[in-house]
A and B are shown apart, each in its own frame.
Chain A
C-alpha cells in the first residue's frame, strides 16, 4: 500500500513529440484515481511510466517515499491489468494467477491458499483448471484481476480493462472493480477513455488532453465546475451544449433569446465580447412541465424541436441554431479534440420521459441560469469558474 506521486513528468519520443507534458498528479494511499481523455492524450503512456514499461524523459515518479524512475517493473511491486488481459495462454487459470507468486518463490501451500482466496473473491473456482482460450471475455478479465490481487502489490494499475467487453458486461465489471477496490482499500490508477467509467469509479479524475493535465478533481467537481471547454465537453452524456453568447449588464444573449444571469457570473464575463456559453442538457426544462422549478418568464424562450429521442426515462430534444464563424471554428476544433464528428450546431435538451413533445413542435423552454458556464472562445477557459470548488487546474496555477 502506498501513495503514488508524479512530479512534472515528461515523456518525449524519438521525434521530440511530448506524449506526456509536465504532468503532476498525486495519488493518495488507497485512492482510486482515474486518468481519462480521448485517444492519444497520453493517459496510457503515463500509466506505463508508473509501472515502468516506459522510460521517463524527465520528472520524478515516487511510489511511497521511493523514487522509482530507474527501477525495473519487477522492483516496483505494482500489479497491472492490461487492456487485452495478457493472460499466459499455455498456463491454466490457477497457474496464471499463481504466476507472480511462483516468481516470488512462495511455498506451494502459500500459493494454494492465496490463489484459492483470489478465486473465491472473483468467483473463478470452477474454472481454475481451464486454459484462458476456453474462457469468456468476462472470465478472462477476472483472471487478469486475480493475477493482480493475488500479490501484495503497492498499487493496482488498470489500462482500459473493460474496453473489450460488451456493454452489459462492462457495467457489471465496473461495479465489481469498484467493490473490490473499496474492499481491498488499495491505491488504484485506472486509465479509460470512457467518461462514465471515470465518473462512476474514481475518487478523483485527472482529465488529460494531448499529454497535458487539464483538471484534477472529483467527478462532481468536474461535472459542475469544468475548467475549460475541453473538460466541459468531455464529461457528461449527452455532452454539454455550447452556443455563442454575449453579456450585456446581467443579460445573457443566446441564439434563442435572452436570460438573466446571476450577478457573479455576469461580472466575471463583463466586457469580454463574444463568448461561448455552456449549458448541460438537464439544465433545461419544458416551461409547461409540472416539476420545472421557479419558472420565471425571464428565463424562457421558444424554439422549434428538430429531432426527438425518447429513451423511456427521459427524452432528448434537438434544436438547431446558427453560430458565428468565430464560435463555429472553436467548436469544430473542440469536437476533433474529443474524437468526435462535426457537427451541426444544435442544442440538446433533456426532457422528462413523460414529455409529449413531437418533432416540429414549437415549445417553450425554461433554462436554469445558475448552471450556465461562460467560456472565453480564444483561451477556452471557463470564466465563471468557482476556483475553490474545481479541484486542481494546472493552467490556472501557473498564471497565479
Chain B
C-alpha cells in the first residue's frame, strides 16, 4: 500500500512539474524579455535571463500615449461589457431556472449556438453595419458584439447555479415578508454569488483578450484595445521588431488578469449553499 502511495505521489509530482513548465515557461520568457534592452533582444545569441536588467522597456511603454489610450479603452470596454453582461445574464438565467415558459429549451440552445458562432464570419457584416450605424470605432461598437458572445456563456453558467439553489430559500423569504424582487436580491443573488463571479471573470477575460473584432472594428486610439494596439508595435525596422516592447506590453496587460483571479478565486469556490438545507 505504502509503496503504491509513494509511487502515485511521485507520478503526481512529475505531472505537476511538466504542466508547470509547459504553462509557465513562455510566461517566464516574456517576463525575462521585458527586462532586456533592445540591443540584447536583437543580438544573435539570446540567453534566458537578461545580461543586464533594465526597466527601459517599461519606461518607454508607459510614456507611449497610444498604449495608454489602448489600456484605457481595454479597461473601459471590458468592464462595461462585463457589468452589463452579468446583469442581463443574472436576470435571464433566473427566469430560465425558475419559470416554465414555452420555448425555454429553444432559448437555451439558441444561446449556445450563438456562443459557438465563429467570430471571424461576423467581422465583415459587422464592419458594414457599424459604419452605417456610426458605431464603427466606438466603445459600444465593441461592447455590443462582446456581449453577444459572452452572454450565452454567462447565462448557461448562472442558470446552472440558480438551479442548485433550493426553491424553499425564496419561498421562505416570501413568507418572511419579502417581495419577489427582495427575495431575489437578498437571498438568491447572494447565494448565486460564486456563479456571478465566475460569469463575470469569463466575460472579462473574453473582452480583455479579444483581438479579431478589436482590430477590425476600430481605426484609431479612440476605441482600439490593447491586443489590437500591440499589433501596431512594429518599430522602425521590419526585420527587427521591438520584441522587448511587445513583451513588456504583454506583461502589463497580464497583470490585471492575475490580480482579478487572485482576488476572486475564493469567491468562485462553489458550495456556498451548504447548510441552507439539511445536508
| Residues in A lying within 8 Å of B, measured CB to CB | 51-53, 72-74, 78-80, 82, 84-90, 99-100, 103-104, 131-135, 137, 140, 147, 151, 164
Contacts and interface: CB of A to CB of B under 8 A. Distances in A.
B83 interface: no
B182 A164 contact: no
B276 A74 contact: no
With most chain A CB atoms within 10 A of its CB, the pick from B176, B190, B275 is B176
Contacts of A90: 190-191, 193, 272
Contacts of B176: 74, 79, 99-100, 103, 147, 151
Contacts of B272: 89-90
A135 B278 CA distance: 10
B275 A134 contact: yes
Nearest to A105: B177
Given A86-B172, A133-B275, 18 more contacts: A73-B174, A74-B178, A74-B179, A78-B175, A79-B176, A84-B166, A85-B276, A86-B168, A86-B276, A87-B275, A89-B191, A90-B272, A99-B176, A100-B177, A103-B176, A103-B178, A133-B276, A137-B278
Nearest to B191: A90
Interface in B253-279: 272-278
Residue from B172, B193, B276 having most chain A Cβ neighbours under 10 A: B172
Interface of B: 166, 168-169, 171-179, 182, 186-187, 190-191, 193, 272-278
A78 B275 CA distance: 24
A140 B177 CA distance: 20
Contact of B166 (A86, A135, A151, A164): A86
A151 to B, nearest CB: 8
B168 to A, nearest CB: 4
A135 B272 CA distance: 15
A84 B275 CA distance: 10
A113 B157 CA distance: 41
Nearest to B278: A164
Contact of A88 (B175, B187, B278): B187
Contacts of A85: 276-278
B274 A104 contact: no
Contacts, number: 85
13 contacts: A52-B174, A82-B171, A84-B168, A87-B275, A89-B191, A89-B275, A99-B176, A99-B186, A100-B177, A103-B176, A137-B278, A140-B275, A151-B177
A103 B172 CA distance: 12
B277 A84 contact: yes
Contacts of A131: 275
Nearest to B273: A89
B174 A53 contact: yes
A147 B172 CA distance: 10
A140 to B, nearest CB: 8
A53 B175 contact: yes
A99 B173 contact: yes
A51 B276 CA distance: 21
A53 B168 CA distance: 10
A360 B164 CA distance: 56
A53 B274 CA distance: 24
B172 A74 contact: no
Contacts of B191: 88-90
B174 A132 contact: no
Given A73-B174, A74-B175, A99-B173, A84 B274 contact: no
A354 B176 CA distance: 53
A52 B277 CA distance: 21
Nearest to B182: A103
Nearest to B172: A86
A173 to B, nearest CB: 14
Contacts of B182: 103
A344 to B, nearest CB: 35
